[in-house]
A and B are shown apart, each in its own frame.
Chain A
């Protein structure tokens, strides 16, 4: 009964753990509350003191409601297939908890639980889920063992019940156990668990990977649903993009010429989407369609994509980025340092647009994506023109560049320039000119040179930084007035999108091309891991202004101190703990969740090299020992006689050691045969002397093929022999009785016993000699 009750408890706990893990993976507290409560209540309803399962019709009704819910979620709510299926599975599982359960139902519950964990494994990369998964696996180990024991007990009961009349109910078979069963069960469960984990780890590491996810977008669309504050469009009426949780979305390691960049003093911008079109009606910054048409799909060569050839010798900044799965497809680059080299072992192709330098993945990814970028610390003149020169025409998978050229030229003129509202533009232009004058710019604002453009951009940025207030509060909506005008002309406070939009609008109003960039501002350094952590709340927006001859240069008009304060990690006594946790999560993500084909190959190579190196080391050490041995005669300067003497001494030592080992083994065997192991040395010696004849008897029997196993007692052995052939083995029974008298009865080996032993031995010898 204890076994079955324990099994029921384990199944219940495992189901609840599966539900908790899935809700955590989906970040769905509502589901956790409802499903968790219903699941927990099932124990009281079904397994409680007065509990009983729900009737069958209620279970069927519940299943029908679950099916209806499945359809509703898929059809009306356009939910993700994996998530919806997992929801459905959870409801089915809860229904089964309330139903009458046999082994079949328990099996179904466990399989459904496994399916839920499978779904959760696909949709999350969180370390907390990883910990829950490990706990789940440990629990599953015990549950499966208990399930097997229960099923075997049921099977035996059923088989025995079949063999008796139906009206005679048999009790459940009694669990026959030997001494130390609890310890053995625990130890072997541990051994089995370690064995499974070890083989699982080996399979995990050597299993060939498919390389990329084949999941159809509809299966897991939006799995990470608005996980990131980053967005590929900005609505100025909405909430600020950095108003998100502090969930890590990216881990960035930086190396400047091979030296790691570290410390929270460095803050850098990670460039994601470039937005060139502002709609005054929707008050939204988007990427224009004409630019999107310029996206090309580039196959990634195995060694990585060289975006600018011939620049490998210059000082470079290398960034290794691990980005966690999200609902967008953008890859992030360092804003101040455009990349000249891109590499990712997880990707076979990327989408690139040379006009806005935007890199995206061709399809959504789940889990994590690792890639590395290399950027020159100083750019040569004509960088923009040279930037894409090395991308061969054959790499383009869409229409050729030549066919696009005329239209592209036309498009370039209007790209990132002008303002949708002429009236607004006039007001902004007047305001900008006034600002520039007050800032000390004295030159004409027509046909600006590169230096003048740079100066204007810097002055405008400075103006905004110095005279405007950073505020995360959303501006009040006004139907008549544009948020940018309101920000620039009246409120003079706002969030980073308004600062970036304001700078872009002011620049455009005087004929300078400007576009909005969204991405992240990274500045939080994890000292334990040696990388920068980028969080959802680090989402940021800034402006890129085009300087002829120098290309698009980033300008962040947002007051840096205010942003830094906003993005800074809370400094408390827990910060060390937080860093440790985040580093562990980073390791989980980078070593486990993103263990891809490339890492696998590297790991296998490393293992092979280690083995080869170990072999080489071993061989060289053996060689050294052989050489040393060969050199001994030289060292000792021995003659032939000495060799003979040494050989003889060595031989005797070996023989002596062998004899000693043999005698020790034989002594142990003798003690075991006479059952004297637990006695004191003195008692052992005395009894061994008195019971020597018993060993002779055993030897005698052994010669004829009757060997007493170690586990068998002398009495059992003698009884077995006597039962097989009473005439022949009766002396063994008598001698065994005498053995017990002396060994356990503290009797002496007196004359009478000696005579008896001798006569019985002779009888036994004669009986054994007869065939």
Chain B
């Protein structure tokens, strides 16, 4: 469900005027023009200076009028994925009756203050989850119209990404005076761990290693093949009655057919095997989007990414999967296959708080896991003979490299778009 601020009344806005480098350059040129006009006393140059003054005043007036009454609402997607592009949408409204708005730039901003608003209060900086501020652009917004603009956002890591304020500005028509409005709209978006492209063979291996059977578990209650016979129960289909046996035994006997059962994966994310140290900064540290992970925790992050990727692949291939996290407080997830189940696991993995990492807390499992993902070399998790142990430092074996440094579907889409554009350019 997209989250949006419900009403414009909830937004607090502030207007600022900027006289940027373009404006300074414009004024310098105008002053030079005036100097030449005064020096030469050429009337045409006075006219030229007048035009420059006119352009300055008109530019100020138009950009002011453009920004008057403009409101913007951020519309966030339900989640994002680390190291993938996520589109943030902005709904911009121009309530003016006659005046359209041109060249509106929308950008996210974070600042000092109580959620960056008041001068005093807690400090909120630009989140380390992002490399830069997302920017959107609207070329034209007609009077009494609203439009949606997109800004690409590229979160670098999992966790909750906090947004604070939206800036919208316009320097139309000449870029001299920039009239800027800020809207306070604190929101957050959950960023899933980075999803890797898992080697196809690996999932096959994991499914083969299922202790409960091969790819399919034969169960009664389906419509597939013959499973066995049992005494007739009220409600059984007449088609399923084995009449020969019934005649022989003088009791109604029903046939039972098999039902297919997808393979199961019981995954244990073992963070207790991690040998590095995590600086504990108190509750909520990891969820705060303002601090970057330390280099030591990179292995843990990779382990989480691998687990999340396995969960997604398992869902795509119809496998049932259950996840247990060792070392960090996290609800264990039973073996199941459904989209909400996958989403819940990803949300839990996204919100793992490493400040509570306890490498001594080895859980006692009442099952033999099929896969154990280790963040370190040694694991204290009891594993069976068929348990597959995936070590993060050997992760290249399990992950397909799509392109160096880029390993996700969305980036492929982005590149495809740019290739298309280049192709069109060449065509032109």
Contact = CB atoms under 8 A, between A and B. Distances in A.
B140 A178 contact: yes
B51 to A, nearest CB: 4
A710 B421 contact: no
A394 B173 CA distance: 58
Contact of B50 (A167, A175, A201): A201
A341 interface: no
A165 interface: yes
Contacts of A173: 135-137
Interface size class of B (residues with CB under 8 A): 35 or more
Contacts of B150: 174
B128 to A, nearest CB: 13
B262 interface: no
Select the residue from B38, B45, B48 with max chain A CB neighbours within 10 A.
B48
A594 B134 contact: no
Contact of A165 (B58, B147, B405): B405
A512 to B, nearest CB: 45
A148 B50 CA distance: 21
A558 B42 CA distance: 40
Nearest to A709: B95
A724 interface: yes
Contacts of B331: none
B203 interface: no
A155 B105 CA distance: 10
A595 interface: yes
A181 interface: yes
A159 B133 contact: yes
Contacts of A197: 51, 54
Nearest to B153: A163
A203 B39 contact: no
A215 interface: yes
B4 A168 contact: no
A214 B53 CA distance: 23
Contacts of B10: 724
Contact of B46 (A176, A207, A215, A709): A207
B192 interface: no
Given A152-B103, A162-B132, A184-B142, A592 B44 contact: yes
B247 interface: no
Interface stretch (A188-196, A353-361, A413-421): A188-196
B202 interface: no
Contacts of B144: 710-711
Select the residue from B54, B174, B403, B415 with max chain A CB neighbours within 10 A.
B54
Select the residue from B40, B48, B61, B154 with max chain A CB neighbours within 10 A.
B40
Select the residue from A130, A180, A199 with max chain B CB neighbours within 10 A.
A199
Interface string A137-149: 1000000110111
A176 B137 contact: yes
Given A152-B103, A152-B175, A199 B43 contact: no
Select the residue from A137, A156, A725 with max chain B CB neighbours within 10 A.
A156
A179 B42 contact: no
B53 A200 contact: yes
A240 to B, nearest CB: 33
B214 interface: no
Interface in A113-165: 114, 117-118, 121-122, 130, 133, 137, 144-145, 147-149, 151-153, 155-156, 159-160, 162-165
B170 to A, nearest CB: 9
A153 B57 CA distance: 24
Interface string B92-110: 0111000010110101000
Contact of B44 (A130, A184, A711): A130
Contacts of B44: 121-122, 130, 133, 592-593
Contacts of A214: 38-41
B414 A168 contact: yes
A169 B413 CA distance: 11
Contacts of A149: 102-103, 139
B41 A211 contact: yes
Contacts of B95: 709-711
B100 A188 contact: yes
Given A130-B44, A167-B406, A168-B411, A200 B51 contact: yes
B203 to A, nearest CB: 27
A164 B140 contact: no
Contact of B152 (A163, A175, A176, A199): A163
A162 B39 CA distance: 46
A178 B104 CA distance: 13
B45 A122 contact: yes
Interface in A711-740: 711-712, 720-721, 723-725
Nearest to B148: A176
A212 interface: yes
A165 B4 CA distance: 28
B149 interface: yes
A18 B389 CA distance: 74
B54 A153 contact: no
Contacts of B411: 168
B151 interface: yes
B6 A724 contact: yes
B120 interface: no
A1 to B, nearest CB: 7
Nearest to B6: A724
Contacts of A581: none
A705 interface: yes
A199 to B, nearest CB: 3
B62 interface: yes
B171 A152 contact: yes
Interface in B145-183: 145-154, 171-175
Contacts of A118: 33, 36, 45, 48
Contact of B139 (A159, A177, A712): A177
Contacts of B29: 111, 114
A164 B133 CA distance: 10
A367 B46 CA distance: 13
B45 A177 contact: no
Interface in A60-117: 107, 111, 114, 117
A265 to B, nearest CB: 35
B11 interface: no
B409 interface: no
A210 B39 CA distance: 8
B134 A171 contact: no
B85 interface: yes
B96 to A, nearest CB: 9
Contact of A199 (B25, B41, B54): B54
A118 B39 CA distance: 12
A474 to B, nearest CB: 38
Interface string A280-313: 0000000000000000000000000000000000
Contacts of B147: 176, 178
B38 to A, nearest CB: 5
A308 B359 CA distance: 115
A209 interface: yes
B138 interface: yes
A162 B134 CA distance: 9
Contacts of B414: 164, 168-171
Contacts of B9: 705
B40 A148 contact: no
B344 to A, nearest CB: 23
12 contacts: A1-B424, A122-B36, A175-B139, A177-B138, A178-B100, A184-B142, A197-B54, A200-B50, A201-B50, A213-B40, A214-B39, A720-B6
Top 5 A-B pairs, shortest CB-CB distance: A724-B6, A203-B50, A199-B54, A163-B132, A200-B50
Given A184-B102, A199-B53, A200-B51, 14 more contacts: A107-B25, A114-B29, A122-B36, A122-B45, A152-B137, A164-B152, A170-B152, A170-B418, A196-B54, A200-B54, A214-B41, A366-B40, A592-B44, A709-B93
Interface of B: 4, 6-10, 22, 25, 29, 33, 36, 38-55, 57-58, 61-62, 85, 93-95, 100, 102-103, 105, 107, 130-142, 144-154, 171-175, 403-406, 411, 414-415, 417-418, 421, 424-425, 428
